[in-house]
Structures are given as structure tokens and as C-alpha cells.
Amino acid sequence: MKKLSGTYDIREVTDSVLTLVKKMTLKEKIYQTIIVHADEKFYSEDKEFLKNYAAEYPYGGVFVGEEIIGGTTAKGDTIIQAIKNYNENAVLPPIICADTESGCGYMFPDGRYSAFPRQMALGAANDKSLAYDYGKFTALAAKEIGVNLSLAPVADINMCFHNSIVNTRAISDNPALVADMVTEIVKGMQDYGLGATAKHFPGDGTDYRDQHFVLSNNVLSFDEWKKSFGMVYKKLIDEGVMCIMAGHIALPSYQKERLDEFALPATLSSELIIDLLKNEMGYDGVVMSDALIMNGFRTTYSDQLRSELECFKCGIDMMLWPTEEFAPALEKAILSGEIPQSRLDDAVERILAMKEKLGLIGGSKKFKEAPIEEINELNTRISQSAVTLVRDRKKILPQKDIKRVAIIAITKFKDEVDSLKCMASEFEKCGTKVFLYENMVPDDNWEENLDFIIYVTFCKDHKPIGSFLLSPPWQSVTHQREKVIVVALGSPYTINMNFPTVNMAIAAYSDTVGCQKAVVEAIFGEIPFNGKLPVELPSIG
């Protein structure tokens, strides 16, 4: 074990990693810093082509599975086989990563694994064992697929209820609860062989903007930041989180440097990545960028390639989806001395050290094992532990005898409307007649003998608005008001924002099958409302 020093504080790297780095060519080192999006080349079944492709482009990481910007046509066994084929041909095994925020069922929706409820459900359940198992069973499923690095958990804090992207991805607005739960998720993942990536440093959730579209800020004073986001990340660092994702988010209270009067995002700020994260906080793991196609990154400099070089230069070790021009441009910048060789070597040492911890180099590594069949049981446990009775002013719930209900989906997304067939089915199993509507406004022609009228909201990350410009929310307080229940299968903030005078409200945090079942079970009194709101709702008074 040799101690190195240079631009960064002294840290330790194993002799095996140092030996490997010394043997690598400049090109091999550069490609280790790149995470490419799996495409038709990666999924090729031509073994000779794949061998040449892996040799010509020795990427450090490959991203697989679906994601919000467009998904992939590859599913299930195709992905599993492609990973095996690529690994057989790669000179140095790549990190295979996926965005498994809600378990592998979220990124691989082919029915192989069920998606877990969003992380806010863990905050409502407030059970560390559930958080640990959340990480554990994500890891077990990832292992079956061939994924060895999760781009999760979300370590953000939901301090601004207008923030559309953090939403139910964040555990809570309570920093201590966030720290406890994300640490357990990381432990569960890494104990079972899946590297964890905490995101989005220096922390999202304090302003209303979405870094997918615009540069956003963490608006806290630095003292406030240290007590909240800083505390969360320091705990994760102390627990050995393998990777931290830098967001396209600035922390103006810490940064002195300005570009055209605004602070740079973490993905372009050496102050945040080198000075704060690596030096002051002592982080010696891998720092990954968030996706470099996002506008929060692209709008800082007018030239994308320059932005990517500045990103690497500022201390980012792995680049998520850079342009094809990045590798040759980085080689040119290093050979010219514009970017020091020490910056590249530091990044590669960190990346290879993570691969060593995951058993990808230096021999296989023993991790904990467990039967993956319990994954559906965990889904039920989380859903039932999280379902929350936000209010019941007239003390009406639960009810055992429910003969007729109307369920109204308030959304403009067809998949969300279709998902309510699950809730309808659960009511029908209990002998209840169900009328399912989409953005319907009750009127005097409606059946007067309905037991309940249930308005369901879905507001969540990337689909934050729904159809709240339509009339169901305000109409809900004028028609058979005493029978109205609001159920939030997404952000619980919608309850007070859009239905302040409705007397009965339930938060379930996700529209998964398990969460919908838990709502119906709790309404009938088959299970108690176990959850507690992990965030403070906006005042209605």
C-alpha cells in the first residue's frame, strides 16, 4: 500500500492498482474515465465485431437499462447476454451501471423484478431495516443482470415543495432521517456486491428548478449546508460509499469563483469537487458527473467539448455520456499540458480502486448472499409500512362495508390512468362496485349512493404537473364533499396545495402495485395506517 500526494490530500492506493495503472497506455487511461450509453454496438451478437469494438473503445463504464430520456429497445435476457458477451471481450472489465433508484424493476420493467416504492416511502416508514433491505434486494437483482454499480441512492433533501425533480425521490426534508436511511441503503447495496452512487452533490431540493433544463442552486448558507447536506455526505463518506455523483448544481455560499456573475455547477467547479469534496471532506472514492447531455451542464459554456474538458479538469473522475470527441480532445489536452497527467492518473486510480473493491480486478471478492425470492415480500413490507393517513377530520376511516366507489385519476398520462386498474381490482376483490374515471368532474347526475369518491394524484419527478389546470381539484369540494378521499400516489404536497379543505387524505408516495394495494387495505382496516409524513406539507391556514 503506497501513499500518494499531489493536487489532493494524501490517500492510499493498493500496489496492485498502481502496478496496473503503470502498465496502461494513455488511451486506456482516458477511456476508463468514460461511461458510455449502451447502444447497438454494445448489443451486437457478432463476436468478432464485439472483440474489436471492446479493444478499440476500452470504456471504463457502460450504462444499461431504461431511463427518462428515451429508454432502450433492449430488454431482459438481451441485456443480460450482452453484458456477458462484452465482459468476455473487454481487456479490463467495465463498470456496468444502471439507474436503480427504485430497485431494478424501475430500470428493467420487463416483469422480471417489481419496482420498489420511491425513496420517500422509506422516510414515511422510518425503518432502517427496510432501507437496508431496499439496498440489499436491489443488489441481488442487479447481480443477476450483471450490473455492478447503481446510480443511487438519492441523497437529496426535500426542502422546497415546488421542486419538481426531487419530489418523492428524496426520503424526507429532515436531514437526520435522510442520512440514516441513505446510509442503510448504501450498506445494503455494497454488502451484497453492488457499488452505490450517492447523488446529487452538493445537494438538490432547496430551489424549484430542474437541473435537466437549467442550472440550479443549493441556496443554503454554508453553515446551513454543513448541518444538512454536508452532514449527509460526510456520513456516507465515513461509511465508505464507493461513488458520489456531482449534480449540475451550484453552492454559491461556498464558491468564490464566478462566471458572468453566477456560480458554476459542481460538474464544472474545482472549488466544490477538489477543494470541498475531495480535500475538506476527505472523499477518496470516485466522483461521477451527472449526465452531460443535461441543460444544467450544457448552458454554462457555449461549447460542449470545452465544458466536458473543464468538467474533467475540475475533479470529475467518470464522465456520464460525454460526446465522442471527448476522448481525443482529452488526449490532446494532456499531451499539451493543458490538463496535467496527475489529474488523469488520480481519476484512473480511483476508478480502478472501485473496480478492485467490486471484485472486477485483482481476483473475485466474496459478498453476502441471500435468496432473491423475498423481493416481492419486501415490496409489500415497504408499501404497508409507508401508507399514511394525512388527515381524517371526521374520523370516518377505516370502513369495512364499502359497496360503491368512484375513482378519478387526475393526470394527463395514459399509463397512470391505466395503473389504477390495480386499485379498482383490489376494491372489487372486497365486493365493491367501482366506477373509474379520468379527469371527470362530478355533477348532479352522479349516483348519490356512492360510499366514497376517490381523487388520485400522481405528481412525481419528470411528471410533476398532472392536470391540475383542469377542474377536478376544486370541484372535489363541492360535490358530495363528505365522501371525498384524496389519495396521493406521488408527491404528498399535492394534498395541501390542491385539496386543502378535503377532509380525508392518504399518502402512498408511489403508484406501484404494492402501494395501491396498501391504500385499499388501509381504507378497509385490514392494515393500519403505519406511515408518518416524512415532509412538512405547505400550510393551508
**Are residues 339 and 402 located together in one domain of the fold?**
no
Bridge partner list, 287: 244
> Dihedral of the CA atoms 78, 80, 85, 86 (nearest 10)?
110
**DSSP secondary structure letter of residue 452:** E
Asked if 183 and 134 touch (Cβ cutoff 8 Å), the reply is no
Residues 286-338: pLDDT tens digits?
999 999 999 889 888 889 999 999 999 999 999 999 999 999 999 999 999 99
**Are residues 131 and 221 located together in one domain of the fold?**
yes
Separation between Cα atoms, residue 204 and residue 211, nearest integer Å: 9
Q: Strand (E) positions, 25-180? A: 34-37, 61-63, 95-98, 149-150
Cell numbers for 502: 378535503
Cβ-Cβ contacts under 8 Å for 428 (sequence gap 6 or more): 434
How many domains are there within the chain?
2
Separation between Cα atoms, residue 433 and residue 207, nearest integer Å: 43
- Residue 437, H or E segment: strand 433-438
Return the pLDDT at 70: 59
Among 325, 345, 362, give the residue marking a domain's end: 362
**Are residues 36 and 109 located together in one domain of the fold?**
yes
**Are residues 15 and 120 located together in one domain of the fold?**
yes
**Are residues 194 and 283 located together in one domain of the fold?**
yes
**Burial track 1-11 (b if 16+ CB lie within 10 A, e otherwise):** eeeeeeebeeb
Return the pLDDT at 255: 96
Counting Cα atoms < 13 Å in the Cβ hemisphere of 291 gives: 16
Return the pLDDT at 10: 40
Cell numbers for 322: 460525454
Q: How far is CA 13 from the centre of its chain?
A: 29
Separation between Cα atoms, residue 214 and residue 241, nearest integer Å: 28
Separation between Cα atoms, residue 88 and residue 93, nearest integer Å: 9
Q: Which domain holds residue 242?
A: 2-362
**Are residues 54 and 100 located together in one domain of the fold?**
yes
**Are residues 275 and 191 located together in one domain of the fold?**
yes
Residues 43-67: pLDDT tens digits?
998 989 999 999 999 999 999 987 6
**Are residues 337 and 430 located together in one domain of the fold?**
no
Percentages helix, strand, coil for the chain (3-state, rounded to 5) are 40, 15, 45
**Are residues 209 and 353 located together in one domain of the fold?**
yes
The DSSP annotation for 438-492 comes to ESPPP-TTS-TT-SEEEEEE--BTTB--TTTTSSHHHHTTTSSGGGEEEEESS-T
Asked if 269 and 307 touch (Cβ cutoff 8 Å), the reply is no
The answer to the question of residue 147 being in a domain is yes
Counting Cα atoms < 13 Å in the Cβ hemisphere of 228 gives: 22
CATH number of the domain bearing residue 357 = 3.20.20.300
**Are residues 188 and 314 located together in one domain of the fold?**
yes
The answer to the question of residue 372 being in a domain is no
CATH number of the domain bearing residue 459 = 3.40.50.1700
Separation between Cα atoms, residue 153 and residue 139, nearest integer Å: 12
- Residue 407, H or E segment: strand 404-410
**Are residues 433 and 514 located together in one domain of the fold?**
yes
Query: What distances in angstroms separate CA 210 from CA 204, 294, 295, one per listed residue?
Result: 9, 10, 9
Asked if 156 and 205 touch (Cβ cutoff 8 Å), the reply is yes
Cell numbers for 83: 453484458
Which has the closest alpha carbon to 382: 281, 493, 491, 514?
514
The answer to the question of residue 402 being in a domain is yes
Q: What is the CA radius of gyration of the chain?
A: 24
Cβ-Cβ contacts under 8 Å for 402 (sequence gap 6 or more): 427, 430, 432, 451, 452, 523, 524
Return the pLDDT at 364: 80
The answer to the question of residue 496 being in a domain is yes
The strand pair at 195-201 and 243-246 is best described as parallel
- Residue 485, H or E segment: strand 484-488
Return the pLDDT at 475: 62
The answer to the question of residue 535 being in a domain is no
Ramachandran category for residue 193: left, alpha or beta (phi over 0 → left; psi -120 to 50 → alpha): left
The answer to the question of residue 199 being in a domain is yes
Query: What distances in angstroms separate CA 382 from CA 121, 237, 378, 436, one per listed residue?
Result: 7, 26, 6, 26
In a structure prediction context, what are the per-residue pLDDT tens digits for the chain, which is 541 residues long?
Answer: 343 333 334 456 788 898 899 999 999 999 999 999 998 999 998 989 999 999 999 999 999 987 665 556 667 788 999 999 999 999 899 999 999 999 998 888 777 888 899 999 999 999 999 999 999 999 999 999 999 999 999 999 999 888 888 989 999 999 999 999 999 999 999 999 999 999 999 999 998 888 888 889 999 999 999 999 999 999 999 999 999 999 999 999 999 999 888 999 999 999 999 999 999 999 999 999 999 999 889 888 889 999 999 999 999 999 999 999 999 999 999 999 999 999 999 999 999 999 999 999 988 888 999 998 889 899 999 999 999 999 999 999 999 999 999 999 988 888 899 999 999 999 999 999 999 988 776 665 666 789 999 999 998 887 765 545 444 555 666 678 889 999 999 999 999 988 888 999 999 999 999 999 999 999 999 999 999 999 999 887 6
Q: Please identify which residue in the block is written with the cell numbers 461556498.
A: 254
Q: How far is CA 368 from the centre of its chain?
A: 24
The answer to the question of residue 375 being in a domain is no
